[in-house]
Every structure is written in C-alpha cells, then in structure tokens.
C-alpha cells in the first residue's frame, strides 16, 4: 500500500519533469525543435509528431530513411533533421517557414534496436510547445516558459519546483503517519495488562 501511495504522490513530480518546452516563433521563421537521445549507439529512427493532426507524423525516419507516405502533407519539404546521421543522439527537427497552423505541441520519440529476442522500443524524449506569434504582437510566452501578464509570470520551472516540494511533503507525511501508527500499536501491545483472573499466580 505504501509504495502505491508514494507513486501516487510522485506522479505530479514525474509529469512536471515532462512539461512541454516552450518555443516562440513568428510566421516565416525557421525554428529548431531540440531533441537529444541519451544513447546514440542503438538508434533505429525518430518520430516527430503532433497528436492533433491526422496523419500525426511531422517527420518519420526509420533505418536511415524518411517515410514520406506517413507524413502530414503540410510539413512536406519544410522539415528535416538537424543531423541526418543522428550523431551523438541529436534528433532535433528543423521546421522551415513557420505558419500560424504550425502552432501546437510536438512530440519527439526515438526508436531503438532491441536485442536478438526483443522488439524495437519507442521512447518519448522531448515534448515541445511551439507558439506562433503574429508579427508585431508583443508579450506571449517568455523564453523560460513563463507567460508575461503585467504583474509577473508563472513558468513551468516554477510550477515544477512547487510540485516537487509539495510531493516531497506529501510522501514524508504518509511515511511519518505509517511509522507513527506502527509505533503506537507496538506501545499499546507492550503496555497491555491482562485482567487479574488471567494473570499467572
């Protein structure tokens, strides 16, 4: 029960670590959506996608070849990997001539070779929120993910820090309560005195 509670309270912390990275662009800009795999030795491909589109693939590369038939038509001839060889695990995406329709959340997933008996694994590495600001518009999203609104900003970094502290306190409270209950039950058992008629003579 306790491990389940710990996982339950740590879940917001894990989610906070995967908050979308904000990037702001203007129509006509070329932008780089960063994505870095930890291990480049067993990379089999990369999938860049937007779940709100059909088909969802912005770019799909498998075994060194782009798969154009599964690509969203609006991205054809406008996207490429920053490094086609994916050296050092760099699978960042270059998106050219940004339009207002490109505004959305992009997911970068890598495909890795399995062993002899294992299938390929797919792992989400990066989630990026691209915000396309019309030319001449001020404000919007700041570089660190905050949203400026006169008096201040609350960014994903601050949110993650708040959630982290909250999760740690909750876990500590649950663990402390369980230890307290066990200690209290042990004290009750130790201080229990049987009735006089049951005591040995």
Distance separating alpha carbons of residues 64 and 111, to the nearest angstrom: 12
Distance separating alpha carbons of residues 21 and 9, to the nearest angstrom: 23
pLDDT-wise least confident of 10-14, 84-88, 137-141:
10-14
DSSP H or E run through 121: strand 121-132
pLDDT at 152 over 70: no
Cα dihedral 142, 90, 98, 106 in deg (nearest 10):
-70
pLDDT category at 81 given cuts 50, 70, 90 is very high
Q: What angle do CA 132, 27, 55 make, to 5 degrees?
A: 65
Identify which has the larger pLDDT, 70 or 180. 70
Do 118 and 36 share a domain, yes or no? Answer: yes
Q: Is residue 179 part of a domain?
A: yes
Identify which has the larger pLDDT, 61 or 173. 61
Distance separating alpha carbons of residues 75 and 47, to the nearest angstrom: 13
Taking a C-beta distance cutoff of 8 angstroms, is the pair 153, 46 a contact? no
pLDDT category at 176 given cuts 50, 70, 90 is confident
Burial (0-12, 13-18, 19+ Cβ within 10 Å), 62: middle
Residue whose structure tokens are 């329709």? 101
Q: Is residue 201 part of a domain?
A: no
Do 36 and 113 share a domain, yes or no? Answer: yes
Note the pLDDT of residue 52. 93
pLDDT category at 195 given cuts 50, 70, 90 is low
Q: Is residue 200 part of a domain?
A: no
Please give the average per-residue pLDDT across 88-114, as a whole number: 92
Contacts of 168 by beta carbon, 8 Å cutoff, 6+ apart: none
Q: For position 92, which CATH number holds?
A: 2.60.40.10
Q: Is residue 31 part of a domain?
A: yes
pLDDT category at 191 given cuts 50, 70, 90 is low
Identify which has the larger pLDDT, 94 or 2. 94
Domain tally for the chain?
Answer: 2
Note the pLDDT of residue 166. 61
Distance separating alpha carbons of residues 138 and 70, to the nearest angstrom: 37
Q: Is residue 199 part of a domain?
A: no
Domain containing residue 187 = 1-19+144-192
Per residue in 17-72, pLDDT (tens digit) is 456 789 999 999 999 999 998 877 778 889 999 999 998 999 999 888 888 898 99
Distance separating alpha carbons of residues 69 and 185, to the nearest angstrom: 66
Do 123 and 92 share a domain, yes or no? Answer: yes
Per residue in 106-137, pLDDT (tens digit) is 999 998 876 555 566 788 889 999 999 987 76
Do 85 and 152 share a domain, yes or no? Answer: no
Closest CA to 171 of 13, 39, 16: 13
Q: Is residue 186 part of a domain?
A: yes
Identify which has the larger pLDDT, 176 or 194. 176
């Amino acid at each position: 029960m306790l491990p389940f509670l710990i996982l339950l309270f740590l879940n917001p912390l894990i989610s906070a670590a995967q908050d979308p990275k904000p990037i702001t662009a203007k129509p006509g800009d070329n932008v780089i959506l960063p994505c870095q795999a930890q291990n480049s030795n067993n990379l089999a491909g990369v999938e860049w996608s937007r779940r709100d589109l059909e088909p969802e693939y912005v770019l799909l590369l498998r075994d060194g070849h782009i798969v154009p038939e599964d690509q969203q038509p609006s991205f054809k001839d406008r996207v490429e990997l920053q490094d086609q060889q994916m050296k050092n695990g760099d699978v960042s995406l270059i998106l050219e001539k940004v339009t207002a329709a490109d505004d959305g959340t992009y997911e970068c997933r890598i495909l890795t070779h399995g062993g002899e008996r294992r299938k390929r694994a797919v792992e989400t590495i990066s989630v990026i929120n691209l915000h396309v600001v019309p030319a001449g518009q001020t404000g919007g999203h700041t570089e660190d993910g905050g949203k400026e609104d006169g008096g201040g900003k609350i960014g994903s970094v601050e949110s993650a820090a708040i959630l982290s502290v909250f999760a740690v306190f909750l876990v500590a409270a649950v663990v402390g309560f369980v230890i307290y209950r066990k200690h209290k039950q042990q004290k009750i058992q130790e201080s229990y005195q049987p009735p006089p008629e049951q005591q040995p003579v």
